[in-house]
Chains A and B, each alone.
Chain A
Amino acid sequence: MKQTDAAFAVVANNCTIPVSDIPLHPFVVFERLILDAVAADQRVSALFGVVSQKSGKLELYVVLSDDAQNQINICRAEVSGSGYPSLTPKIPQAHLFEREIAEQFGILPEGHPWLKPVRYCASWSGKDAWNRTADEPIVPAVTDFYRVEGEQIHEVAVGPVHAGVIEPGHFRFQCHGELMYHVEIALGYQYRGIEEAMLGERKNRNIHYIETAAGDTTVGHTITYCQIIEALSHTQKPARAQVIRGIALELERIANHIGDLGALAGDVGYLPTSSFCGRIRGDFLNITALICGNRFGRGLVVPGGTGYDLDDSMISEILTRLAVLHQEARDAVNLLWITPSVMARFEDTGILTNEFAIKMGITGPAARAAGVGRDIRYDQPSGVYRFSQVPVSTCESGDVFARAFVRWMEIEQSLEFITAQLKALSKGSIRVAYGKLEPESLSLALNEGWRGEICHVAITNTDGGFARYKIVDPSFHNWIGLAQVLRNEEISDFPLCNKSFNLSYCGHDL
């Protein structure tokens, strides 16, 4: 394994290293290294383009998570000319990353099986991968879609504005009667350009961009961003703050999971659980609001610690509320498992296979429900999770039931975690000042948000501002998983499968 060590910069979660320490390989070596790493069960956490500050040329960076070794491998390669041989045919989990690189820099992954725009935005480099002229309007989802042809085949198009209070996206179903042969999902409607907005000198708005990258994952994304700022400024954050962050992250997980369990019940027409969980979700959000005034945790996580502290009366209030809510949630959710009409819809619907989940780099509860035991809190722990582990909840069947049941198990684990942490909250400060950011360095942070792995990578310029800020929301990995499980299902099961993933549109579009 000596060779591998020299091939990568090997780091831990929440690291900072000088950009010059990251090995720069010829593309053929880069490709070989990724192939070998993926064959050895490493995951592509991020693959993205960066315009080198030294040479002005485009470099591809890869972040590979080696969960077994509890380490992260990073390397880069320069790509010159108009393209490079696509990695996707050999490493399918690179598919969307390569489309993203093509869209952002106009560099073609030659041989990519499905090279289409990701977010329908103009290229950053001025070079367009699809040879569109500068004045040609770019309209989302106006493109070719995969089509199934045949006499009785019909196409159903849904969105961007679809039923319900929900973010916009466009879905194309290739159907034969009720049966869906194939679904293609076109996103980009939510594109706000967050990665571009983060660049340059440090701005007050940066943290607010991150808080709203995916508003239902405010805590997850903001912790990740703050860990990067702290790593780049060599800030030692207080233990108490790390625990409060962990509590907030688990509250966010519970609130979203319980809301989704209610929505799943609603999608199969089982109204009791749907009604109860909708209300219980709000009460969990109110606990976050109790801590920081905002139901989504805005302002709670700040660089250097947390913005708010807990006092003893608040801790006992939260513990009291949690005990009541736990019982209410248990009663409400357990109805699902004992109701045959619910289980008949949940079981064997929308099966994500273990093989597909691994191959495509699926993350979070969707992967765990398919028997893939990956969880950043366990595999690459940071903050409080280095001291207190949350058991990884997995299921084998990969269907809607498995995704629902994994979420329920996680709710129980998170409740236990929060309760234990609140009872043993260390004394001390919650916030320290942080200084200048290390120039020309790369920093990386991974966290297990409620949807799965959140990965941020920052590269600083000579002044310590961001030259590149890469955000990978778990939805970026998982949308393909949803499209896959819908194959050969009935179109009436689409809402159910969709909700079992409940992916973020804005987290994907940024």
Chain B
Amino acid sequence: MFKGILTRIKQGYKTIEFPDGGKAPALSTRFKGLPFLDSEKCPENCNRCSEACSVDAISHKIIDLGRCIFCDDCLQACPFEAITFSADYRLAVRKREDLLVKPLQKEIALAEELDKQLRRIFGRSLHLRQVSAGGCNACEADINVLSTIGWDIGRFGIKFVASPRHADGLLITGPVTKNMEMALMKTYEAVPEPKLVIVVGACAISGGIYADNIHTHSGVGSLLPIDLFVPGCPPQPLTILDGLLRLTGRLEKGSDLFSKPDPFSKKIEFY
């Protein structure tokens, strides 16, 4: 008992301050956030990035964050350094088309908060049932991490619950395997109205690596209406938290807390 208390004191207070006045925690300098395509560096008729991309995330110099798995394939294929990934972890949006990043585009339309009525219901208390439908346990692990003391998502009234009947919505990962389709749909039906659907990870948004696979769907989109898209493979926990806070209107306007001035200034070293 005494040792337990002593250890507790030694471990200290570990919950991140974000977003209450504190800065977002520092991420790895090699973290890949929002990509940027400098089309001015592209020679004519060059298509190397699109060809190298295994998930068809780049076409006509438009990067689809819903497909992108934030790997190194395009970076290594491009000798002109036209593509860079910034440190900007804020990637969650409300509409699928907002995930398309056009050439020279440095900002995306980040998720807007729910309308007044829904915010009144979910703004201070959002209980989610998580469903993994072919997720590889990476997205699941980084969702789980939000419930640890490091992030303590409970302080925002957000909680993962066991029963869909106790939930305000689903948080779905994975491309939706054919073998999970029925269970996913039944779980959705069991959630009382009004309900939200949040999809986390490239798989759940577009199928990701498993897009166009005969044993899976290409994401949740063809099955359910989606309220929030969180891209990544898997998304940084901070990206997921940022998305949930924006959706519930818990991030005050102007308090983006993202380290300024230019998130695009850093260069990722790779070999």
Complex-state Cα separation, A165 to B153, whole angstroms = 14
B23 interface hit (Cβ, 8 Å) = no
In the complex, are the beta carbons of B137 and A307 less than 8 A apart?
no
Q: Most A CB atoms within 10 A — which of B138, B144, B175, B210?
A: B138
Taking CB atoms, residues of chain A closer than 8 Å to B132 are: 165-168, 190
With A335-B4, A335-B7: A279-B14 Cβ-Cβ less than 8 Å: yes
Taking CB atoms, residues of chain B closer than 8 Å to A203 are: 54
Contact flags (1/0) for B59-101 with A, using CB distance below 8 Å?
Answer: 0000000000111110000000000000000000000000000
In the complex, are the beta carbons of A167 and B137 less than 8 A apart?
yes
Complex-state Cα separation, A338 to B179, whole angstroms = 44
A275 interface hit (Cβ, 8 Å) = yes
In the complex, are the beta carbons of A208 and B55 less than 8 A apart?
yes
In the complex, are the beta carbons of B30 and A292 less than 8 A apart?
yes
In the complex, are the beta carbons of A279 and B149 less than 8 A apart?
yes
In the complex, are the beta carbons of B180 and A190 less than 8 A apart?
yes
Taking CB atoms, residues of chain A closer than 8 Å to B143 are: 165
CB distance from A287 to the nearest CB of B (A): 9
Q: Which of A168, A275, A285, A289 contacts B133 (CB 8 A)?
A: A168
Q: Determine chain A's interface SS by DSSP, over half rule.
A: loop
CB distance from A132 to the nearest CB of B (A): 15
In the complex, are the beta carbons of B138 and A282 less than 8 A apart?
no
A391 interface hit (Cβ, 8 Å) = no
Closest 10 pairs between A and B when the two form their complex, measured CB to CB: A215-B136, A215-B138, A278-B148, A293-B30, A204-B54, A163-B162, A193-B215, A212-B136, A205-B54, A289-B28
Taking CB atoms, residues of chain B closer than 8 Å to A216 are: 136-138, 141
In the complex, are the beta carbons of A290 and B30 less than 8 A apart?
yes
Taking CB atoms, residues of chain B closer than 8 Å to A298 are: 69-71, 233
In the complex, are the beta carbons of A335 and B179 less than 8 A apart?
no
- Closest-by-CB residue of A relative to B232 is A294
Beyond the given A189-B180, A285-B145, A307-B271, could you list 20 further A-B residue pairs with CB under 8 A, ordered by the A residue number?
A139-B182, A163-B163, A165-B130, A167-B132, A190-B177, A204-B52, A208-B54, A208-B55, A215-B234, A216-B137, A218-B138, A272-B7, A276-B11, A276-B149, A282-B148, A290-B30, A293-B30, A294-B32, A332-B11, A506-B136
In the complex, are the beta carbons of B71 and A309 less than 8 A apart?
no
With A215-B136, A307-B270, A430-B271: A192-B180 Cβ-Cβ less than 8 Å: no
Taking CB atoms, residues of chain A closer than 8 Å to B11 are: 276, 328, 331-332
B140 interface hit (Cβ, 8 Å) = yes
Taking CB atoms, residues of chain A closer than 8 Å to B73 are: 204
Complex-state Cα separation, A203 to B55, whole angstroms = 11
Q: Most A CB atoms within 10 A — which of B179, B214, B215, B236?
A: B179
Residues of chain A touching chain B, judged by Cβ–Cβ distance below 8 Å, are: 119-121, 139-140, 160-168, 188-193, 197, 203-205, 208-209, 212-216, 218, 259, 272, 275-276, 278-279, 281-283, 285-286, 289-296, 298-299, 307-309, 328, 331-332, 335, 338-339, 430-431, 504-506
Taking CB atoms, residues of chain A closer than 8 Å to B54 are: 203-205, 208
B158 interface hit (Cβ, 8 Å) = no
Taking CB atoms, residues of chain B closer than 8 Å to A506 are: 134-137
Taking CB atoms, residues of chain B closer than 8 Å to A291 are: 30
Q: Which of A167, A188, A197, A292 contacts B213 (CB 8 A)?
A: A197
Contact flags (1/0) for B155-179 with A, using CB distance below 8 Å?
Answer: 0000010111000000000110111
- Closest-by-CB residue of B relative to A142 is B182
Complex-state Cα separation, A480 to B209, whole angstroms = 30
Complex-state Cα separation, A286 to B53, whole angstroms = 26
Taking CB atoms, residues of chain B closer than 8 Å to A168 are: 131-133, 180, 183
In the complex, are the beta carbons of B180 and A278 less than 8 A apart?
no
- Closest-by-CB residue of B relative to A504 is B137
B8 interface hit (Cβ, 8 Å) = yes
In the complex, are the beta carbons of A205 and B209 less than 8 A apart?
yes
Complex-state Cα separation, A291 to B271, whole angstroms = 13
CB distance from B11 to the nearest CB of A (A): 5
CB distance from A164 to the nearest CB of B (A): 7
Taking CB atoms, residues of chain A closer than 8 Å to B144 are: 165
- Closest-by-CB residue of A relative to B136 is A215
Taking CB atoms, residues of chain A closer than 8 Å to B268 are: 293
Q: Which of A161, A213, A332 contacts B7 (CB 8 A)?
A: A332
With A190-B134, A193-B214: A208-B71 Cβ-Cβ less than 8 Å: yes
Taking CB atoms, residues of chain B closer than 8 Å to A259 are: 141
Complex-state Cα separation, A504 to B140, whole angstroms = 12
Taking CB atoms, residues of chain A closer than 8 Å to B32 are: 293-294
In the complex, are the beta carbons of A339 and B4 less than 8 A apart?
yes
Taking CB atoms, residues of chain B closer than 8 Å to A161 are: 129, 131, 164, 183, 187
In the complex, are the beta carbons of A278 and B145 less than 8 A apart?
yes
A-B contact pairs, 16 of them (CB 8 A): A139-B182, A162-B162, A163-B163, A165-B130, A190-B180, A192-B134, A192-B215, A193-B215, A205-B209, A214-B137, A272-B4, A289-B31, A295-B142, A298-B69, A308-B269, A506-B137
With A192-B213, A328-B11: A205-B149 Cβ-Cβ less than 8 Å: no
B3 interface hit (Cβ, 8 Å) = yes
In the complex, are the beta carbons of B213 and A272 less than 8 A apart?
no
In the complex, are the beta carbons of B271 and A192 less than 8 A apart?
no
In the complex, are the beta carbons of A192 and B7 less than 8 A apart?
no
Taking CB atoms, residues of chain A closer than 8 Å to B269 are: 308-309
CB distance from A337 to the nearest CB of B (A): 11
B216 interface hit (Cβ, 8 Å) = yes
CB distance from B263 to the nearest CB of A (A): 14
B139 interface hit (Cβ, 8 Å) = yes
With A197-B213, A279-B150, A296-B138: A192-B234 Cβ-Cβ less than 8 Å: no
- Closest-by-CB residue of A relative to B129 is A161
- Closest-by-CB residue of B relative to A309 is B271
- Closest-by-CB residue of A relative to B31 is A293
CB distance from B18 to the nearest CB of A (A): 14
Q: Which of B14, B149, B209 contacts A212 (CB 8 A)?
A: B209
With A308-B271, A335-B7: A192-B177 Cβ-Cβ less than 8 Å: yes
Taking CB atoms, residues of chain A closer than 8 Å to B215 are: 121, 191-193
B27 interface hit (Cβ, 8 Å) = yes
Complex-state Cα separation, A339 to B1, whole angstroms = 8
In the complex, are the beta carbons of A192 and B175 less than 8 A apart?
yes
- Closest-by-CB residue of A relative to B72 is A299
CB distance from A340 to the nearest CB of B (A): 11
In the complex, are the beta carbons of B180 and A193 less than 8 A apart?
no
Interface hits, B194-239 → A, CB 8 Å: 203, 209-210, 213-216, 233-234, 236-237
In the complex, are the beta carbons of B213 and A294 less than 8 A apart?
no
Complex-state Cα separation, A290 to B30, whole angstroms = 7
B10 interface hit (Cβ, 8 Å) = yes
- Closest-by-CB residue of B relative to A216 is B137
CB distance from B207 to the nearest CB of A (A): 10
